[in-house]
Amino acid sequence: MAEKAVVLLSGGMDSAVAAAWTAARGHAWIALTVDYGQRHAAELEAAREVARLLGAVEAVTVAADLRAVGGSALTGDQEVPKRGSAGGGIPVTYVPARNTLFLALGLGLAEARGAGLLVLGANRVDYSGYPDCRPAFLEAFQALARVATRAGLEGRAPRVLAPLLDLSKAEIVRLGVELGVPFARTLSCYDPDRAGRPCGACDACRLRARGFAEAGVADPAAPV
């Protein structure tokens, strides 16, 4: 019998493919979405819909308002860079310690539900330069899981899996198509309008568009 899994589900394409990958391996999976005060709250609805369409056994939304922490264009009033205007280095769309927080919440949920897997859609190939999408971060968090939980002390720490880590965006698109991911219901934009439509110009939109183009697949959620 396959292990139960917790999947961090943001509503974007990568997390949706990671969820479909988990389901395809026979795991009963729980969707964990975090309402962190992001300016693009439309992704919360996208996550709920993706969880439903991909057959999550439970969908959990946790509120953790990071606007009080600040330091990111996604939780404040700072302008989201468009068409590569961010320059080099880590962009202003980086949310300080976001994946650390999300994985900690996922770790707690996995322990509470008896899940042996903690899955996220982190990707180090076509990403925006975020430090918490790197193998070193994931390895460090796995080590933390072994010492920070009762399950870990009993030798049952949930395994942290990032199945898309070394895939290009085009490879992620192809995998998603193979697994039947409802890409039309996903949202990968940093700055959608009030109706939840993608801007088409931010880093996330451009990376998504390039991935679909290189995969030779039409994006059903592309801005018109």
Does residue 131 contact residue 175 with C-beta atoms inside 8 Å? no
Cα–Cα dist 157/142, whole Å: 8
Confidence (pLDDT) at 84: 62
Confidence (pLDDT) at 205: 93
Per residue in 58-70, pLDDT tens? 999 999 999 999 8
| Beta-bridge partner residues of 33 | 61
For the chain, give the percent of residues with pLDDT over 70.
Answer: 96
How many alpha carbons lie under 13 Å from residue 122 in its C-beta half-sphere? 23
Topology of the domain comprising 5-215: Rossmann fold (3.40.50)
Per residue in 20-42, pLDDT tens? 999 999 999 999 999 999 887 89
Q: Assess whether pLDDT exceeds 60 at residue 85.
A: no
Average pLDDT over residues 72-78: 86
pTM value is: 0.94
Confidence (pLDDT) at 86: 45
- Least confident range from 20-34, 76-90, 159-173: namely 76-90
